[in-house]
Amino acid sequence: MRLATRLTILLVVITTVVALSVGWYAVNSSTHSAYDTLDAAVNSVVESGIGAPDAALSDAINVDLKDNYDLTLDVIYPGGSVTKIISADKPLTATPTLADVHGSLSSVVGEANLPGFRVRSLNIGGGDYLLVAASTQSITRSSQQLILRVALAALLAALAMVVVARLFMRRDLMTMEGLIGFASDVAEGQTYETVPPNRGSKDLRELQRALATMVRSLQEKIEVESRHAESMQLFIGDASHELRTPLTVIKGYTELISNPEVSAEQLARAIERMQKEIVRMEALVSDLLLLAEIRELPPKGDETVNLSDLVLTCVREFRGDHETRSVEDDVEPGIEVKARPDLVERMLSNALGNIARHTPPDAPVRVVLSRDDAGVRLVVEDGGPGLPVYGQRPERFRRFDPSRSRDSGGSGLGMSIMADLSAVMGGEMNTSPSSLGGLCLTFTFRVTG
C-alpha cells in the first residue's frame, strides 16, 4: 500500500473516531437529559400526593392536568384489578401488576413487564395504589434519529478530511512519490545528474537533500570501485607478466645449467641472468607488499616526524651517490608532520630513485621544503625528459608512462606508492612540468600544530 493511501486512511480513521466519539457523547447527553425531564414529570405527579393518602389521587390528577403532562394514571386495587384514570397519547401496552407497583414505590424505574415506559407508584390509602407511567417511545425515536445524524456527520467529516488531506498534502505526496521512484531507479542501477525537485515541506526538503547527498556519495563510490576494479585488472595482467617473464627466464636457465654439456662461461652467464631476474622479482613483490600495507594504514600517523631532517638526510645521500649531478636543496628547518618515518623515507627514496633511474646522469635536481598558512610543501624537480601527461594522480598498479621499458628497472609502481604514501600522511601528490625541464613532484601536507 502506498504511503499516500496509508496516510489518507489514517486521517479518515482518526476523523471518524473523533466524530463518532463526539456524537456518542452528544447522543448520550441528550438521551439522559430527556429521561431526566420525563422522570421529573412523573416525580412531580407522584410527590404531590405523598404524605396525604386520602387526597393523593386528586392531587396527582390536578398536577397532571395543570402541567399538561402526557402521562398515564392507573389505580391498582389489592386484588390486582386496574382502573384507568387518565390515558396518555401512548397508553400502556400491558396491564400493570402489584409486583410492578411494589418495585416502583421509591423511584422512577423501567419495569420488564412494562417495556417502553418509565413508572412510579404511590400509596393512596385503603390498600390501593396509583401507578404513574410515561412512554419513552419519543425519546427512543429521537435517539435513533440523532444516531443516524451523527453517523452521517462522521461520514461527511471523513470525506471532507480526504479532500482536505489531498489538497494540503498534494505537494508533499507528489514529492515523496517522486523521491521514492527516484530511489527505486537508483537501486536498479540507473544514474541521474540531479534529484527530483522538492516543492514540499521542510522535512521533505531535508529528506531530498539527504537523498541527493547519499546518491552522489553512492555514485562516487561506484565510480571509485569501477576504477579500482579496472586498475586491479590492469594490475593482474601487469603483475602476471612481470612475474611470468623472470620465472620463464629462470626456468630456462635452470634447464640450461642442468645440462652436463654446458660450458663454464655459459654457466656463469646463466647464473648472472638468474640473479638479475630474482632481483627484479624481489623488487616487484616488495612494491606490491608495500602497496597492500599502505591501504591498511589509518590516515596520517601518531608519530611526529621532523620532515626537514629526513629530507636533508635523503638529499645528502643522493648527492653522495650521484656526484655528476647538480643537486640543489632549499629546506626550511624545523618542519614537522604526523607520519611514520619509514614511510616518509620510502616516499623520498622513491622520488629520488625515479630521478636516478629515468633521467640522464647529469640531469640537475632541486629539492625544496617550505611551510605557509596552507601547510607544508615538498617539491622534487629534475631536468629529465618529464612525463607525457601532468596533473593526474597515478592509478594503482599502472605505469604513469607506459613507454618506459620494464628493463629500465623497478616494478612500475613507484608513482602509485608515492601518491598513496602522501595520502596516508594527510596530504596529496601532484605532477607538473619542472622549471629544470623535466618532472616536478609536489607533495603537500598539513602541519602538526
Angle between helices 3-47 and 53-66 (to 10 degrees): 130
Query: DSSP label at 332?
Result: -
Greatest pairwise CA separation for the chain in angstroms? 159
Dist CA 375 CA 359 (whole Å):
30
Q: How far apart, in whole angstroms, are the C-alpha atoms of residue 372 and residue 272?
A: 51
Long-range contacts of 64-67 (CB under 8 A, 24+ apart): 67/41
Asked if 105 and 121 touch (Cβ cutoff 8 Å), the reply is yes
DSSP 109: B
- Domain 298-445, CATH number (from 3.40.640.10, 3.40.50.720, 3.30.565.10, 3.40.50.300): 3.30.565.10
Does the domain made of 201-296 have the CATH classification 3.40.50.1970? Answer: no
The contacts of residue 210 (CB under 8 Å, 6+ apart) are none
CB 344 within 8 A of CB 418: no
Strand, coil or helix: what is 380? strand
Q: In what order do the strands lie in the sheet with 375-382?
A: 327-331, 365-372, 375-382, 439-445, 428-433
d(CA 65, CA 365): 129
The domain spans of the chain are: 1-45+137-180, 48-135, 201-296, 298-445
pTM for this one?
Answer: 0.44
pLDDT tens, per residue, the chain with 449 residues:
566 677 778 888 888 888 889 889 989 999 999 999 999 999 999 998 887 878 888 988 999 899 899 999 999 999 889 999 998 989 888 999 999 999 999 999 998 889 999 999 999 888 899 999 999 999 999 999 999 998 998 889 888 888 887 776 666 666 776 777 777 777 766 666 566 666 666 676 777 777 777 777 777 777 767 766 766 675 666 667 667 777 888 888 888 888 888 888 888 888 888 888 888 788 777 776 766 666 556 555 567 888 899 999 999 999 999 888 899 999 999 888 877 788 888 888 888 988 888 889 899 999 999 988 878 899 999 998 888 777 755 554 444 444 444 444 444 567 777 887 787 777 888 888 999 989 999 988 876 55
CA distance 191 to 222: 11
